[in-house]
Amino acid sequence: MKKTLHFLLLLTVAILIGGPSVQAQIEGTMEVHVPFPFYVSGVRLPAGKYILHQEDLDGSGMMEITNASKDTSALFLTMPARSASPPPDNELIFDHYQNRNFLAKIFDMGDKYGAVTTDSGYSKMYHAGNEHGDERHVPAIHHAE
């Protein structure tokens, strides 16, 4: 019993002093020109200019990506992500497997906390057996609201 209480106390202290709260939130909108076709949440999107924004503010991590002409969009879920070091630019990171690109991560310049897309299962079909696909970094413009 004493060991359990000691463990719980240490766990509580670690959580309290462990650092800032991490949320998979990209506040405002991000504008990006993706120079290649890509997939997000199982939806294929063509190369072009896109706007990303958080769909709701309830902490669910739901985001939407819409092309500039607003005729193509996709909703997708995100979870908190952490980079080893803060990226020098706002960026979207795509996983590249077998000539296909999958939106994987979203980061703000100078912030090591960002968002990672949840895997719809579609990308798993293409990276099976190729666990180390290339990453493609695409710069973005962040418009805070």
For 88-120, how does the pLDDT look when each residue is reduced to its tens digit (9 = 90+)?
999 999 999 888 999 999 999 999 999 999 876
- What mean pLDDT comes out for the span 49-71? 87
For 8-28, how does the pLDDT look when each residue is reduced to its tens digit (9 = 90+)?
344 343 344 344 444 445 778
* pLDDT on residue 4: 42
Residue-wise burial string across 121-132, b where 16 or more C-beta atoms lie within 10 A, e elsewhere: eebeebbeeeee
* pLDDT on residue 20: 42
8 A C-beta contact, residue 31 and residue 50: yes
8 A C-beta contact, residue 25 and residue 52: no
* pLDDT on residue 121: 64
- Give percent above pLDDT 90 in the chain: 54
